[in-house]
Amino acid sequence: MSGAGKAFVEARGIHVSYDGNPILERVHMSVDRGAFVTIVGASGCGKSTFLRLLLGQETPQKGEILVDGKKIAAEPDPDRGVVFQKYSVFPHLTVWQNLLLPAEIGGSPFLARLFGAARRHAEEAAEEMLVEIGLSHARNRYPAQLSGGMQQRLAIGQTLLKKPRILLLDEPFGALDPGIRADMHVLITELWRSCGMTVFMVTHDIQEAFKLGTRILVFDKVRHDPHAPERFGATITYDLPLDHKAKAAAALPPGILKTHSHQGVDVHA
């Protein structure tokens, strides 16, 4: 764990329960600026819930989340970008219009449309991103006309145009085949390095988690009640820096590796 003074994103004593069933309990986390944090754990253990907390889409019943030492807003804001598994782009806008939208929102409070020099400026940035995510040939297509991988590239491009300090990814490549997934890994790693963001990425693919992360968090239940499985919530059971990735892999019990690595190839739709 890093020292308290330089922690960038911090979770302190988080508790979340739905309908009286605890989902997350006593979650503590402290992450440095620029980290690439991958999050793994069994299905239904609360990874997406944790991401929604970081996003500000939900607030925990107990505990707090701090960014740069300040409590985060109780609603999403441009500081924290997000890419979900699905529905992360706007279906009524073409690729090009989706990429222009961030600038239009930022530069025009009433119409959310840009004209003249401001528009040309926005178009330059959009054009650059369009090339970077490799969608130049699909500029005028609607999301429904794109493959899954192209849609996710668009979603990532659109999010990064806002230059968020924190990027949250919830199984962004879950529905993609291994080849496309490898391309996406290259893309996201490059973008992460060049933008200097702090990334949190949920994945079911443990290899992906090791390959991309500088740090890996494993969510699991520490207490089990065989008669009432929903009685206890999950927490962070392993928190491993991956500077020496092989060492970290060795530190994990083989059981975890097995349960997760077979899920890596299934398509989590």
Partner 1 sequence: MRLMNRNPSRTTALFLGLLPFALLAIVYVLASAARLADNPADKLLPSLSTMAETFRIMAFEEDVRSGDRLLWLDTAASLWRLGLGLAISATLSLFIGIFIGFLPYGRAFLAPFISAFSMIPPITVLPILFIVLGLGEASKIGLIVVGTAPLMIRSLAQTVLSIPREEMVKAQTLGASSWQIALRVVLPQIWPALITAIRMGLISAWIFLISAEAIASTEGLGYRIFLVRRYLAMDVIVPYVAWITLIAYLTDRLLALLSRRAFRWAHLQGDAL
Ligand X SMILES: Nc1ncnc2c1ncn2[C@@H]1O[C@H](COP(=O)(O)OP(=O)(O)OP(=O)(O)O)[C@@H](O)[C@H]1O
Name the site residues for ligand X (rule: CB under 6 A).
Answer: 18-19, 23, 41, 43-49
Closest CA to 9 of 107, 90, 85, 80: 80
Residue 111: which of ligand X, Mg ion, partner 1, none does it interact with, CB under 5 to 8 A by kind?
partner 1
Tell how far CA 267 is from the center of its chain.
Answer: 18
Which residues make up the interface to partner 1 (CB under 8 A)?
A: 55, 57, 75-78, 80-82, 84, 86-93, 101-102, 104-106, 109-112, 142, 144-145, 155, 158-159, 162, 164
Residue 43: which of ligand X, partner 1, Mg ion, none does it interact with, CB under 5 to 8 A by kind?
ligand X
Q: How far is the CB of 197 from ligand X (least distance, A)?
A: 22
# of chain residues touching Mg ion (CB under 5 A):
1
Residue 81: which of partner 1, Mg ion, ligand X, none does it interact with, CB under 5 to 8 A by kind?
partner 1
**Rounded CA separation 8/198 (Å):** 9
**Rounded CA separation 103/119 (Å):** 8
- The residue among 48 and 259 lying less far from partner 1, judged by its C-beta, is 48
**Rounded CA separation 109/104 (Å):** 8
Q: How far is the CB of 76 from partner 1 (least distance, A)?
A: 4
- Relative to beta strand 36-41, strand 215-221 is parallel
Closest CA to 42 of 215, 202, 210, 269: 202
Q: How far is the CB of 58 from ligand X (least distance, A)?
A: 8
Residue 216: strand pairing partners = 38, 240
Residues between 31 and 60 with contacts to Mg ion, criterion CB under 5 A: 48
- The residue among 145 and 265 lying less far from partner 1, judged by its C-beta, is 145
Tokens representing 236 are 């962070």
Closest CA to 114 of 130, 97, 90, 92: 97
Residue 144: which of Mg ion, partner 1, ligand X, none does it interact with, CB under 5 to 8 A by kind?
partner 1
Asked if 101 contacts 144 with a C-beta cutoff of 8 angstroms, the reply is no
Residue 82: which of Mg ion, partner 1, ligand X, none does it interact with, CB under 5 to 8 A by kind?
partner 1
Look at the block and give the residue holding tokens 């990334």.
Answer: 199
Q: Look at the alpha carbons of 185, 191, 192, 197 in this order and tell me if their dihedral is positive or negative.
A: negative
Q: How far is the CB of 135 from ligand X (least distance, A)?
A: 27
Q: How far is the CB of 89 from ligand X (least distance, A)?
A: 20
Q: How far is the CB of 105 from partner 1 (least distance, A)?
A: 5
- Relative to beta strand 198-202, strand 21-32 is unpaired
- The residue among 137 and 231 lying less far from ligand X, judged by its C-beta, is 231
List Cβ neighbours of 107 (8 Å cut-off, separation of 6 or more). Answer: 114, 118, 122
Q: How far is the CB of 99 from partner 1 (least distance, A)?
A: 11
Binding positions for Mg ion, rule: CB under 5 A: 48
